[in-house]
Structure 1
Amino acid sequence: MDKIELDDTTIDIGIWPIPSVSYFRGGRRVKSTDLPTRVRIVDGSGRAIARKDIDLPDLMRMHMAYVVLDRFRSIVDSLEPGLHQFEAVGVIYPGGESESRPFYILAVGQRVVTALDRERTRPPMRQFPEVPQLVRPDPSRPAFLFDSGSTDPWPPVLLQAAVAGRHFFCAGDFNGQIFVSEPLHQALTEG
C-alpha cells in the first residue's frame, strides 16, 4: 500500500498534501495500478482468521483502506452510480483458500469542500495542528479536527445546501471522515 497515489491532486481548503492514511477516505480516486489484487483476512488483533465460515461484514477496514462485499457496492452504486471507486480484490484465507464472493477495495469518490457548519457543531472543532510537512492553501478556511478530548457525543452539523442529494462523501474541511446519508444508512442496515 506504500506505492498508492491519488488520481486527483488538486489542492482544496483542507490540508496539503493529503496524508496517505486518508487516501481512501478523502473523496478522491486513487490510481489502481498499485492496488493489491489479494488481501488476507485477519481479526482485530492482526491474527489470520482460519475459519472460512466466519460471517464477514459488508464493510471491513484494511490497513488504510476499506474492503466491501458486493452488497455494499450495489447499494452505494444504486444511489450514486459510478461516483465511487470499487476495485475488485481477492480475499485469501490462511493456507491459500480463496473466498468465492466478490470483494472490492473502496475509495470514496466524492468530497464536499465546505460541508461542516463549524459554528453550530458541538463540541467545537479545533484547527488541524501546524506541522511543517502540511500546508493550508487557504488560511481563512483551514482543516479542522473533532476535539477528541471531549467525552460528549459528537453531532456534526452539515451545511444542507452543500450536502443535499449526496449519500456517501468526505468533507474537505474535516480530513479523513466519511459521511453517510440517512437513506444510505437505512439501505445498508436493512436485511
Structure 2
Amino acid sequence: MQCNVCGGETFLDMNGRLNVRCAKCGSLERARVLKMILDESGILKKGTRVLHFAPEGGLATYIKGIVGDECYDARDIDIERYQHVKVSYFDLVEACHTLPTNAFDLIIHNHVMEHLPCNVTAVLYHLHRALSDEGLHVFSIPDLPLNFHPAAIRAPAVFDTPFGAVGATGGNA
C-alpha cells in the first residue's frame, strides 16, 4: 500500500484502527480520499484560491505546492496545533459571515462541522457564498448527530458512508 498524498509506504495504527495513519505525512483515510477527489476534479493548479480549515499536514503541503503560497489560506481556531503550515486564526461560528463573496475556488474542511457549537447550516451557507462561480466545496463529516438540514447545503453530491457524510458542492452558478 502506498500513500497517495506523499508516497509513503508505512502505515501506523491509531485509536485501535490498524494501518490508518501514514508514517511519512500523517494523513488519515479522509485526507487520502480527499486527495483522490481533488485529483479527479482537476481543480488544483497554479493560482487556484484555496481556503482550508483544520489543514492536514501532508495534504496542506501537497496543495500549497501546487497552488502557491499566495493562493493557499489555512485557518483554524486553534493555531498552536500547526507546525507544518502557517495557519491564521478564524472562528467559523463567530466570523463565517465575514468571508468575502466569490473569493475562493476551493474550500476544504474534514471533520470540522461536528465541533461547532451552532446550527451548521448558517456556516455552510457562508462557506458556499465564499465560493467562486466555478468553485468546489469539499468536506467530510463523521457519522455523528449534527444540527443542520441537509437540503440547505445545495450539494448535488452528498454521500452517506460508513465513515460519515462526504460532500462536494459546486459554486454559485
Q: Shared topology, TM-score over 0.5?
A: no
**Larger RCO, structure (CA 8 Å, separation 6 or more):** 1
TM-score normalised by length of structure 2: 0.30
More helix by share: 2
Higher strand share: 2
